[in-house]
Amino acid sequence: MLIIVEHPLCACELTVVRDCRTDGPTFRAAMHRVGLHVCLEATRHLRVRAVPVVTPLEETSGYVLEHRVVAVPILRAGLMFLEPMMQILPRVEVGFIGLRRDEETLQPHEYYRKLPPLDVTTSIIVLDPMLATGGSSVAALERLRAAGVQDITVACAIAAPEGVERVEAVLPNVRIVAGGLDRCLNERGFILPGLGDAGDRAFGTENQL
């Protein structure tokens, strides 16, 4: 299931991150605000339970979350969505998966993984601003599914149709929430029109090994 965030402010922030003239600090700040929109939408399905609450004036009913939520940023670029996620859900637990896409083969290579206990009741929200070929997302999702998790949402800033199709083909029950759905991938696996390499632009590592 693909859900595109339909919000004018999200569209404006995406324009800032797409612009090749945007510098690193401005890029990170705009990506943070894209993350707020995307993470909010990525938590819309969470179930709540009714509880009584006493206001200064009377008793009424309120809500608490019914289950554990674990956010999993995919290093590095996914770190930009972690703070927005924690702002809207301060008690979120956090796991990390480090994946680096080989720019020749486009295959993801895992270099780090640290996850809290996961089971069938855990709701997972994978954070990665870019869904390009879908290789990194599928690699992360397969590891999470292997841990028994059923409810998984991928939160990204932009997605390519090729990546969405790949995730849906391999893991049909995964929810994808994106700030925008772009046109296609180029021959190097970059999203068009896209925003370049999110990690490099955020952390100033263009042309670095």
List contacts with ligand PRP (CB under 6 A).
74, 76-77, 99-101, 106, 108, 128-137, 163, 189, 197-200
Q: Annotated catalytic residue: which of 15, 26, 105, 121?
A: 105
- Minimum Å gap between C-beta 67 and ligand PRP is 27
Q: How far is CA 112 from CA 140, 158, 197, in A?
A: 11, 24, 20
Task: Please state the closest distance from residue 112 (CB atom) to ligand PRP, in A.
Answer: 11
- Of 18, 28, 101, 166, catalytic: 101
Cβ neighbours of residue 16 closer than 8 Å, sequence gap 6 or more: 22, 26, 27, 30
101 among known catalytic residues: yes
Cα 207 to the center of its chain, rounded Å: 25
**Tokens coding 132:** 């390009």
Q: Which is nearer to ligand PRP, 29 or 46 (CB)?
A: 29
Q: Is 128 an annotated catalytic residue?
A: no
Contact (Cβ atoms closer than 8 angstroms) between residue 179 and residue 10: yes
Q: Whose CB is nearest to ligand PRP? A: 199
36 vs 157, beta carbon nearer ligand PRP = 157
The verdict on whether 119 is a catalytic residue reads no
Close Cβ partners of 23 (under 8 Å, ≥ 6 residues apart): none
Closest CB to ligand PRP among residues 77, 178: 77
E-strand stretches of 76-128? 93-94, 96-101, 108-114, 123-127
84 cis-preceded (ω within 30 degrees of 0): no
Nearer to ligand PRP, 4 or 139 (CB): 139
Q: How far is the CB of 169 from ligand PRP (least distance, A)?
A: 14
Q: Using the 8-state DSSP alphabet, how is residue 53 labeled?
A: E
Annotated active-site residue in 128, 151, 182, 197: 197
Q: How far is the CB of 163 from ligand PRP (least distance, A)?
A: 5
Active site residues: 101, 105, 197, 200
